[in-house]
Structure 1
């Protein structure tokens, strides 16, 4: 099997930026108390890949018994963006991710599918000067299942030649939904979540992903 098409999540996979968003959620819910903020952080870490729109609606309903309107959710999302966007742009790359992109610009077709809003993730990717490496960059409010399926169908990709590289259950489920392979960028935050899942390649350093992909050729 030779992989030709790579679909990446962004936070925690290309950029080491998961903690930026964790702290933003904590900051926004601290006015409701430490216990609520702790519950929000725990859910956020266990549900990477879920859009912030869904998270805000869920957190207010489940933890505060407040039903948010779409307008209120947009306001919270805008506040969240103002807290995190520059920090994500400035976040370091996951180890050797930038080197991997440079080395493989002509070796693979690559896309980003993120839980971040599409407009925002495109701004971030452009500001980091890595947009030239990707065929497309996509985010919420559409789901990862939706974008992964659309990329495969619109580009007539062969499933066996396509792999989703992510760090969250939502990434793994998008790969399963589309019947493509999955590689896990493992961290202390997600290791337990994937303990019972076998048959996937796991890596920390992109040099290991490079070797895995080369060995598959």
Structure 2
């Protein structure tokens, strides 16, 4: 049975700015005196493995888990705003759109209901999607806060969807776990980690190498 509703992750699926955002985090941390290359490298690994997690959570992780330093929520919020300022100009570039994914969305958005469910800052995500000219493809564009599981739960509740007729497309384990928590089928994309999970005991997601030739109509939730 084909899914009626598709939830799309944004960064890493529709839009590719993970590298840009890492450079933004690096500049932010260095600006505040954290120039230890080992710490920055450790954060880089975490960043690329942690799609679907908000900038606030990533900043908190850097201080709590890498630097082993407590940080107040107010300071996390201030650093997140500063991070947004650092990456703002480079973010607004249509060149970061995934052309393969956008071609698929353009072809199918009239036959299915599409939403964006992203850990990116909600206000920034709305403005960016308007700038990119992609708002028309989606019934709604949802960012953080809250976290990804709650974003999905809110969409289900707001539109009275049946989770068994839904599909989440994402590029991170967090995307998969967020979908699973809401009983939504999951399709991994653009992630070696997710590709390697397919077939492993307990993993319920599928994986797609390319959207070229992909038939959403025949996607079966096993």
TM-score where L is the length of structure 1 = 0.89
Which residue in 1 is equivalent to 2:50?
47
Q: Between Structure 1 and Structure 2, how many residues are aligned?
A: 215
Whether the 8 Å CA contact 1:26–1:38 is kept in 2: the answer is no
Which residue in 2 is equivalent to 1:138?
142
Cα offset, 1:49, TM superposition = 1.1
RMSD: 2.2
List structure 1 runs of 4+ shifted beyond 3 angstroms: 187-199
Which residue in 1 is equivalent to 2:70?
67
Moved more, 102-111 or 20-29: 20-29
Question: What is the rounded CA distance, in whole Å, between the counterparts of 1:123 and 1:55 in structure 2?
Answer: 22
Which residue in 2 is equivalent to 1:83?
86
Moved more, 99-108 or 125-134: 99-108
* 1:177 and 2:175 matched: no
Which residue in 2 is equivalent to 1:16?
16
Gaps of 5+ in 2: none
Cα offset, 1:35, TM superposition = 0.7
Which residue in 2 is equivalent to 1:207?
212
Cα offset, 1:191, TM superposition = 4.6
Describe the shift of the 1:201–1:193 C-alpha distance in structure 2 as closer, same or farther (beyond 3 A): closer
Moved more, 3-12 or 77-86: 77-86
Whether the 8 Å CA contact 1:172–1:182 is kept in 2: the answer is yes
Describe the shift of the 1:199–1:173 C-alpha distance in structure 2 as closer, same or farther (beyond 3 A): closer
- 3-state SS in 2 of match to 1:7: strand
Moved more, 75-84 or 85-94: 85-94
Question: What is the rounded CA distance, in whole Å, between the counterparts of 2:79 and 2:47 in structure 1?
Answer: 15
- 3-state SS in 2 of match to 1:113: strand
Describe the shift of the 1:202–1:193 C-alpha distance in structure 2 as closer, same or farther (beyond 3 A): closer
Question: What is the rounded CA distance, in whole Å, between the counterparts of 1:202 and 1:153 in structure 2?
Answer: 27
Which residue in 2 is equivalent to 1:94?
98
Describe the shift of the 1:96–1:137 C-alpha distance in structure 2 as closer, same or farther (beyond 3 A): same
TM-score where L is the length of structure 2 = 0.87
* 1:104 and 2:108 matched: yes
